Every structure is written in C-alpha cells, then in structure tokens.
Amino acid sequence: MAGRTATRQAVGLLVVVSFEGGAVHDVVIRGGSVVDGTGAGRRTADVAISDGRIVAVGADIGAARQVLDADGLLVLPGWVDIHGHYDGQALWDPLLETSSAHGVTTVVSGNCGVGFAPVQPEQRAWTISLMEGVEDIPAVVLEQGLDWRWSTFPEYLDALDAAPHAIDVAVHVPHAALRVYAMGERGIDHAEVATDEEVTTMARLAAEAVDAGAVGFSSSRSRNHVASDGRLTPSFSAGAAELRGIAAAVGRTGKGVVEINVDTANLDGDLELLVGLCEASGRPVSMGLLQRPGQGNRFRQVLDAFAAAGGKGHRLLGQAAARPTGLLQSLAGRVNPLAASTTFQEVYQTDPAELHRAEVKAKILAELSGDADLTSRFPLAFELGDPPRYDRPPAESLAARAAAAGIEVNELVYDVLVGGGFVYVPVSNYLDGDLRAVHEMLVHPCTIPGLSDGGAHCTMIADFDYPTFLLSYWGRDAPEELRMTVEWVVQQQCAATAALVGMHDRGTLLPGRRADVNLVDFERVGSTAPEIVRDLPGGGARLLSHGRGYVATLVAGEVTYEGGVYTGALAGGLARV
Ligand SMILES: [Zn+2]
C-alpha cells in the first residue's frame, strides 16, 4: 500500500491515502469546499462515506480507513447525464469512458427511440442499421460487440445487470424497437399505422420494461433520424393514438418518463402531441431543445408553451445543450473535407506524412477547387484548437482568418486538418454568432441539461463532455454577465437530472445518498482536446477527450478515477428505477 501511495505522489496527484486508528467510516473526504447539489451555497466540510453511501457531512465526523485530502478542491456530486447512447457499449465496455472520464457517475441511455430491445432474432440486423444511421455507431462495432443474450426488454436489463460497470447506467425502452417487435417488418415503415391490438402490445411491453427498471420510454420524430438504409426512423410519424397509448401505459406504472426528439418543424402539431403525452401519462416529458437553423428563435415559443403547460400541471421540459451543437471535421473522422480528393485518399492511406509536402498540398487543393471553398456549406467553421474552444466569435472563423491573412480558406482548412486538428462547425444554437441562446435555454425553468449523446456520433460529434463544459465554461470562463454559479450548475447537472429520471438516491451530497462524488480543481477543470482512437470492437473509431481538473471521482464510495487515471474500480452497475 505504501508503494501505491508513493506512486501517486510521484505523479503529483492530490489524493492522499491513509489509515486512521479507530476508523468508523470507509472513506472521509476531508476539508473540501462542498457544493452539495441542493443549490445551497458551498461550505467547507468533511464528507463521510460507508457502504457506498454518504453518512455524514460536516466537521468532526470521525476517522476513516481511507482519507482523501480535498483541501482547495470542490467536492461535488457525480454528474448525472440523462442523454447517452450506450445501449450496445454498456454491454462490452465497463468504463463508458467518453462519459466517465468527465466525472459522469450515472448515464442514462436508450434515448431518441433507438436501442436493442425488445428484439426478435430476425430484427437484430435492422436494429443495428438503425443505430448506425441515427447515432453514427458503425455497424461493424455493434455486430462484434453485441451477443444478443436477450429478446425481451427485461432480459436486456438482466444482460446489462450482469455486465461489469465502472459507473451506473440506466436505460429507456425505445419506441423503434417496440414498434418493430410488435408490428414485425411493417413497423419499420413509419407510415404504417399500428392497429389497436399492436398499440396495446407496445403499451404492455413498455409498461413491462418500466416495471422491470427502465427509466421510461423514448421516441423520435426527427427527420435527421434515418437508418443506414435511408429509411426514416420507424417512430417518425407514429400516430397520436400509438404514442398516447404507450405513454398512458407507462403512466399506469406510477413511474417513468417520456423522452422524445422533435424537430418542431410543425410547431403547433408537435406541441399538441407533447401536451397529449403529458396528459396521457401524467409523467414528465422531455424533448431535445435547440435553436435550429431556419427556425429562428422558435425555441422561445416552445418554452412559452412548456411554461403554459406547467400552469396546467404538466411537466414538459426542454433538454438544453451546453453549447452550440455541430460537427467536428477531421482527417480520421466521418466528415472530412479533403475526402473528395483522390490524391488525398491515396496519400493518406500510404504515407500521411506526405500530406505536409507543398506539392502534395497544392495537388489536393487543386483537386478540391471545384468544390468552391471547403467551408461553403458551413460558412462559420472554426479551428477547435487545444484546449478546445467552442465559443469563438465569427471574427475568428476560418473564413475570416483566411481573409485577414490574404490566403484561400481552403488552404487554412487544409493546414488545420493536416496538422491533426479539428474544424468545428456549429450548426444549432449559434444563429447569433454567440452563446447567448444557449444561456437563455439553460437558465429557463422549463429546461434541464441534456443532449450530450455520449456513446454516439463516434467520429463527428464530441458533446459527451457537456457536464465538464457546464462547469468550466458557464461556471468560470463565460462573460461575467452570463456566468452561472457553481452551485446552480451542480444542482442542474446532478440533482435535477437525477430527480427527473426518478433517481432520488443520488445527485446530492446528503446523508443516505449514494456516494458518487467528484473532487474538482476548479481552476483547472476543462476538457482535453478530442482525439480519435480506434478501440471499439472491430477496430471502430471514436472521439475521446478527458476531463482535466477531476482530481478524483468516486462511484458508490470507491475511487474510480484518480488524477484522470482509471483505477480499475467497478462499483457501478445497472440502475433500475
Ligand atoms: Zn440522442
């Protein structure tokens, strides 16, 4: 043990391990600045943990077998992220690293109506193609990673339960899977209307899933949600009777939520449907909320309608993103502006170092010149940089920088990409060229932090670090007039998210709650620049970044990350609600 302690000190970590005589607790986190998640102001206190639970917060709370020195650190509940897509990965990867490396201790999956249960054997390939198309998780990864030990949703939960986990994972029962399970091939076609009997079957299966521990039911009506064969997601135009029938059955269980992805292209119809889901279920309903291109500030009308529905006793919430949502373009990613050049393709495969040679660059740029400039589809494209910056003003766009330097924007895009960087293209939440719309959504009483999409969009979106961004940007780096208190951020991303999905045992640092805790160096907290790693089954690639400033993360009282390094602890599991 002494050797282990010495190793920690050698790499400059702040966690101290010691053994106190007369220990009464498993762990005491000593002397940190405790932000407990209730919204109360921070206070210097010790946090005592036994049997995976917080047992006391205060002064003089007794000795422990393990003491973590939190002097100078924030002591926060672990993040509870309600919008992930780890439905497959949670079966083969205990770490769920894109989330766990950012202090997330509970992640909810099965969002947006897609997932892998219930499923008939003949529908397995199709559920993979839907996940591949909707969430950009390569089919080869899922084909190699899934062992299909289940058919029903309760059996899927049991499979998740049996798999080792470093953090907690919970899941929704997804509409697409329910529909195809109940309707067979017909259900794949969103235009097919479910019969009364089929609606009854879906409703029964959804209730069965929630009774078995699913956090709720998810669906999607997004035109962007398309299977890899080009077909719209099966729930795209599912009728009100179908949705209300399922929602009502969930409601009869007395628990569960409804999560739905809606484009708001048909605002009145969509709002009517959402209110209808509240009426039918009596449960909270949340929807991805964005400032969408072509829709101006329609999100305000959505929020006004949610507030009005709240006045009638409904709980309608927008899941708000922590920043503009968009694409990360890169040489190794799915979206690569140089991919149309045959010379690029050849050189990148054979000898990527050649890309730095001036003649090769000129040849590739000449081949791409027919495409006008590489940012023409997205005029506001930025160099992401290291550390990554998601708040650059239009004056720092690649087009503006190229103009100022008197060079073609294509050349600048080339240099960023070949230099190993990312071109960041904000698509939603950036219509005004700043993050004010994001702020407006985040602070609205009818929103909750969401949409991080951990586990999805493997090589083109890296929003899994939203919780880190909420704390580092909105809690520290944002312009002063927009900055949020750490207490508020923590209350939102821990307690409010946990409460929404019915996990009342976590999200705050109060006696009796699960000991999911982050020790954070607030000055340092942030994200490393994303990189693409090939560690998914079948050699699949994904974007990965790590949280900085997370001195330690505890899951159920066990240190899971120390100084950003995974300890091997497997204290998480399936969280049944
Ligand atoms: Zn999603």
Question: How far, in Å, from the CA of 453 to the mean position of ligand 1?
Answer: 5
Instruction: Burial-class residue 363 by CB neighbours within 10 Å (0-12, 13-18, 19+).
Output: middle
Question: How far, in Å, from the CA of 151 to the mean position of ligand 1?
Answer: 23
Residues contacting 281, CB < 8 A, separation 6+: 247, 248, 250, 251, 256, 258
Question: How far, in Å, from the CA of 455 to the mean position of ligand 1?
Answer: 10
Question: How far, in Å, from the CA of 326 to the mean position of ligand 1?
Answer: 14
Question: How far, in Å, from the CA of 266 to the mean position of ligand 1?
Answer: 20
Question: How far, in Å, from the CA of 181 to the mean position of ligand 1?
Answer: 21
Question: How far, in Å, from the CA of 454 to the mean position of ligand 1?
Answer: 9
Question: How far, in Å, from the CA of 538 to the mean position of ligand 1?
Answer: 23
Question: How far, in Å, from the CA of 160 to the mean position of ligand 1?
Answer: 19
Question: How far, in Å, from the CA of 571 to the mean position of ligand 1?
Answer: 26
* pLDDT at 13 > cutoff 60: no
* pLDDT at 168 > cutoff 90: yes
DSSP string covering 328-388: EE-SSSS--TTTT-HHHHHHHHH-GGGGGSHHHHHHHHHHHGGG--TTSSSSS-EE-TTTT
Residues contacting 251, CB < 8 A, separation 6+: 280, 281, 282, 283
Question: How far, in Å, from the CA of 450 to the mean position of ligand 1?
Answer: 9
The pairing of beta strand 565-566 with beta strand 558-562: antiparallel
* pLDDT at 374 > cutoff 80: no
Q: Which amino acid is residue 303, in one-letter code?
A: L
Question: How far, in Å, from the CA of 67 to the mean position of ligand 1?
Answer: 39
Question: How far, in Å, from the CA of 111 to the mean position of ligand 1?
Answer: 5
Torsion, CA 474, CA 479, CA 481, CA 487, rounded to 10: 20
Question: How far, in Å, from the CA of 273 to the mean position of ligand 1?
Answer: 19
How many helices and strands (H and E) does the chain possess?
19, 24
pLDDT value, residue 5: 35
- Which of 223-237, 385-399, 514-528 shows the lowest mean pLDDT across its residues? 223-237
* pLDDT at 1 > cutoff 50: no
Question: How far, in Å, from the CA of 263 to the mean position of ligand 1?
Answer: 13
Mean pLDDT, to the nearest integer, of 140-162? Answer: 96
Report the C-alpha gap between 517 and 111 in whole angstroms. Answer: 25
Question: How far, in Å, from the CA of 566 to the mean position of ligand 1?
Answer: 26
Question: How far, in Å, from the CA of 212 to the mean position of ligand 1?
Answer: 22
* pLDDT at 6 > cutoff 50: no
Residues contacting 42, CB < 8 A, separation 6+: 33, 34, 35, 74, 486, 487
Question: How far, in Å, from the CA of 83 to the mean position of ligand 1?
Answer: 6
pLDDT band at 369 (very low <50, low <70, confident <90, very high): confident
pTM of this prediction? Answer: 0.95
Q: Is the previous residue joined to 387 through a cis bond, with omega within 30 degrees of 0? A: yes
Report the C-alpha gap between 176 and 113 in whole angstroms. Answer: 6
Which one-letter DSSP state was computed for residue 320?
E
pLDDT band at 8 (very low <50, low <70, confident <90, very high): very low
Question: How far, in Å, from the CA of 85 to the mean position of ligand 1?
Answer: 7
Question: How far, in Å, from the CA of 331 to the mean position of ligand 1?
Answer: 25
Question: Which residue is listed with tokens 């209110």?
Answer: 275
Question: How far, in Å, from the CA of 544 to the mean position of ligand 1?
Answer: 18
Question: How far, in Å, from the CA of 172 to the mean position of ligand 1?
Answer: 11
User: What are the residues facing 108 on neighbouring strands?
Assistant: 170
pLDDT in tens, 444-497: 999 999 999 999 988 899 999 999 999 999 999 999 999 999 999 999 999 999
pLDDT band at 3 (very low <50, low <70, confident <90, very high): very low
Task: Look up residue 125 and give its two tokens.
Answer: 């390939």
Question: How far, in Å, from the CA of 520 to the mean position of ligand 1?
Answer: 28
CA distances from 344 to 361, 378, 407 (A): 9, 21, 21
Question: How far, in Å, from the CA of 176 to the mean position of ligand 1?
Answer: 13
Question: How far, in Å, from the CA of 274 to the mean position of ligand 1?
Answer: 17
Question: How far, in Å, from the CA of 351 to the mean position of ligand 1?
Answer: 37
pLDDT in tens, 87-100: 999 999 999 999 99
The string over 13-33, giving b where at least 16 C-beta atoms fall within 10 Å of a residue's C-beta and e elsewhere, is bbbebeeeeebebbbbbbbbb
pLDDT value, residue 10: 31
* pLDDT at 2 > cutoff 60: no
pLDDT band at 379 (very low <50, low <70, confident <90, very high): confident
DSSP string covering 259-296: EEEE--SSHHHHHHHHHHHHHHH-S-EEEEE---TTST
Question: How far, in Å, from the CA of 114 to the mean position of ligand 1?
Answer: 8
- What's the start-to-end Cα distance of the chain, in Å? 37
Element housing 447 (H / E): strand 447-449
* pLDDT at 29 > cutoff 60: yes
Mean pLDDT, to the nearest integer, of 533-559? Answer: 94
pLDDT in tens, 333-348: 988 999 999 999 999 9
Q: What is the distance, to the nearest Å, from the Cα of residue 175 to the centroid of all Cα atoms in its chain?
A: 19
Mean pLDDT, to the nearest integer, of 101-110? Answer: 98
pLDDT in tens, 260-304: 999 999 999 999 999 999 999 999 999 999 999 999 999 999 999
* pLDDT at 307 > cutoff 80: yes
Task: Look up residue 73 and give its two tokens.
Answer: 């650190």
Question: How far, in Å, from the CA of 34 to the mean position of ligand 1?
Answer: 32
Q: What is the distance, to the nearest Å, from the Cα of residue 570 to the centroid of all Cα atoms in its chain?
A: 21
Element housing 426 (H / E): strand 423-428
The string over 61-79, giving b where at least 16 C-beta atoms fall within 10 Å of a residue's C-beta and e elsewhere, is beebebbbbbeebbbbbbb
Question: Which residue is listed with tokens 């060079």?
Answer: 407
Question: How far, in Å, from the CA of 127 to the mean position of ligand 1?
Answer: 15
Residues contacting 76, CB < 8 A, separation 6+: 35, 37, 103, 486, 490, 494, 509, 517, 518, 519, 520
Q: Which amino acid is residue 103, in one-letter code?
A: G
Q: Please state the three-class secondary structure of 183-200 as a single string.
A: HHHHHHCCCCCCCHHHHH
pLDDT in tens, 30-40: 999 999 999 99
Question: How far, in Å, from the CA of 84 to the mean position of ligand 1?
Answer: 6
pLDDT in tens, 107-140: 999 999 999 999 999 999 999 999 998 888 888 8
Question: How far, in Å, from the CA of 88 to the mean position of ligand 1?
Answer: 14
Question: How far, in Å, from the CA of 260 to the mean position of ligand 1?
Answer: 9
pLDDT value, residue 577: 95
Backbone phi, psi, residue 46, to 5°: -95, 150
pLDDT band at 9 (very low <50, low <70, confident <90, very high): very low
pLDDT band at 16 (very low <50, low <70, confident <90, very high): low
Question: How far, in Å, from the CA of 306 to the mean position of ligand 1?
Answer: 20
Report the C-alpha gap between 47 and 509 in whole angstroms. Answer: 8
Output the average pLDDT for the chain.
93
